[in-house]
């Protein structure tokens, strides 16, 4: 009878020590019994209460895994029985773990603009999805702007008065330079109409087209809310009769929320 109980104890100890363990890249550990390992996936069984369940985990989420070894049983039943674990740990990925970030970012930015031929301002809304694994963000942009032509530049056009209305559409992607700094690249197409009055009082209307590229550096805090700052340059090339080109500097002051 004594031998029987010792045998049961040995079997139970061996089962406990045969427990395997998977360590994920975020540090979480899974106690389980590994049933199969291939190049892509680790298959394992685990207990949920009284139930024995099977699952798997991709290798891309695994930092390491280890399997419990078989125990060694002492020959004498009267001696203290010691079970020695022989555990083999397999390192799968030792790169630094970066938590995946997936959040929607809202920015409202006010931008004074100082150009060679005109001064102006703009108010833009940027909305984009920020992920930890991607360096690029492609925001949705909606905005308005206004400008005044410099008098010395307008006097060369030969018109007494000009009214311009137009719309722009394009892309303005962000490229992550670090945790808080981004390279902002943009290009917008311009489409509008101008109403021109010459010194004789004659009024004419023209449609015009244009291209507005821009580049800049933007500071965006990592917190969910904060102040954003930026500086950049812009160019404009238009088919307008009174405003056909410009280049200038723009500053940005905004709020992230």
Reported as a single tens digit per residue, the pLDDT across 153-163 is: 999 999 999 99
Q: What pLDDT, on the 0 to 100 scale, is given for residue 188? A: 92
Does residue 84 have a pLDDT over 50?
no
Does residue 112 have a pLDDT over 70?
yes
Query: Is the model more confident about 153 or about 76?
Result: 153
3-state secondary structure (DSSP) of residue 16: helix
Contacts of 21 by beta carbon, 8 Å cutoff, 6+ apart: 29, 30, 31, 32, 65, 66
pLDDT, average across residues 112-117: 96
Per-position b or e across 111-134, b if 16+ CB within 10 A of its CB: bebebebbbbebebebebebeeee
Contact between 34 and 23 under an 8 Å Cβ cutoff? The reply is no
Does residue 90 have a pLDDT over 90?
no
Contact between 248 and 116 under an 8 Å Cβ cutoff? The reply is yes
- Minimum mean pLDDT range among 17-26, 74-83, 134-143, 226-235: 74-83
Distance in angstroms (rounded) separating the CA atoms of residues 74 and 181: 64
Contact between 157 and 124 under an 8 Å Cβ cutoff? The reply is no
Does residue 58 have a pLDDT over 90?
yes
- Residue 155 — left, alpha, or beta (φ > 0 → left; ψ -120 to 50 → alpha)? alpha
Q: What pLDDT, on the 0 to 100 scale, is given for residue 47? A: 87
Contact between 40 and 58 under an 8 Å Cβ cutoff? The reply is yes
Contact between 120 and 145 under an 8 Å Cβ cutoff? The reply is yes
Q: What pLDDT, on the 0 to 100 scale, is given for residue 88? A: 62
Contact between 104 and 126 under an 8 Å Cβ cutoff? The reply is no
pLDDT, average across residues 139-145: 88
pLDDT, average across residues 95-103: 67
pLDDT, average across residues 132-141: 84
- Minimum mean pLDDT range among 3-12, 196-205, 218-227, 229-238: 3-12
3-state secondary structure (DSSP) of residue 233: strand
- Mean of all residue pLDDT scores within the chain: 84
């Amino acid at each position: 009878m004594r031998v029987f109980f010792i045998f049961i104890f040995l079997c139970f100890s061996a089962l406990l020590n045969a427990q395997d363990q998977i360590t994920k890249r975020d540090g979480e550990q899974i106690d389980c019994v590994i049933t199969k390992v291939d190049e892509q996936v680790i298959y394992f069984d685990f207990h949920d209460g009284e139930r024995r369940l099977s699952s798997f985990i991709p290798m891309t989420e695994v930092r390491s895994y280890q399997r419990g070894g078989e125990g060694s049983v002492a020959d004498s039943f009267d001696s203290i029985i010691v079970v020695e674990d022989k555990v083999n740990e397999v390192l799968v990925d030792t790169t630094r773990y970066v938590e995946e970030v997936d959040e929607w970012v809202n920015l409202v930015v006010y931008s004074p603009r100082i150009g060679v031929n005109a001064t102006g301002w703009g108010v833009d809304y940027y909305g984009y999805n920020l992920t930890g694994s991607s360096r690029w963000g492609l925001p949705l942009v909606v905005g308005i702007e206004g400008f005044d032509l410099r008098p010395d530049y307008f006097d060369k056009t030969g018109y007494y008065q000009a009214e311009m209305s137009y719309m722009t559409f394009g892309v303005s992607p962000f490229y992550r330079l670090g945790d808080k700094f981004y390279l902002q690249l943009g290009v917008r197409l311009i489409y509008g109409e101008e109403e021109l009055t010459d010194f004789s009082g004659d009024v004419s209307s023209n449609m015009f087209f244009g291209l507005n590229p821009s580049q800049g550096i933007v500071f965006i805090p990592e917190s969910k809310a904060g102040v954003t700052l930026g500086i950049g340059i812009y160019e404009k090339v238009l088919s307008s009769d009174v405003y056909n080109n410009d280049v200038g500097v723009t500053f940005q002051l905004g709020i992230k929320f």
